Amino acid sequence: MAYDTKLADRIREYLAEIPNLEIEEKKMFRGLTFMVNGKMCINVSVENLMCRFDPKLQDEIAEKKGYQSMIMKGKEYKGYCYVNPEGIKAKEDFEYFINLCLEFNKVAKSSRK
């Protein structure tokens, strides 16, 4: 299934406004991943935003509109979530989740090459 290209464009435009980010786009996880400074940061998965964030914030973020736990093989992945379209419709909600990912990206470890 294809990913939401309008959401990808929205992310692309937002990231383009932020100085000193090295952005690379990769097709992965059945969608489009935005690598920021060599690290996976944000993904468009079908119509959802997939976020990578500080796992310490899991409980706080779980209260946000549109939040969905990321569960793979029956296990919840801490520090990752999906946000459905309702949760990022408003500009301030969209920016909250993107900034959340960007903030964690500064301290996140890169995956092995």
Residues of the chain with pLDDT > 70, as a percent, come to 96
pLDDT of residue 5: 95
Looking at the structure of the chain, the number of domains it has is 1
Q: What is the pLDDT of residues 33-52, one digit of tens each?
A: 999 999 999 999 999 999 99
Question: What does the pLDDT average to over 4-17?
Answer: 97
Other C-beta atoms lying within 10 Å of the C-beta of residue 15: 17
Are 50 and 81 in contact by the 8 Å Cβ rule? The answer is yes
- Res. 28 pLDDT band, cuts 50 70 90: confident
Structural domain includes residue 27 = yes
pLDDT of residue 110: 80
Structural domain includes residue 113 = no
CA distance 61 to 105: 16
Question: Which two tokens mark 64?
Answer: 């946000």
Pairing of strands 23-28, 39-45: unpaired
Structural domain containing residue 66: 5-105
Amino acid, single-letter form, for residue 94: F
Amino acid, single-letter form, for residue 102: L
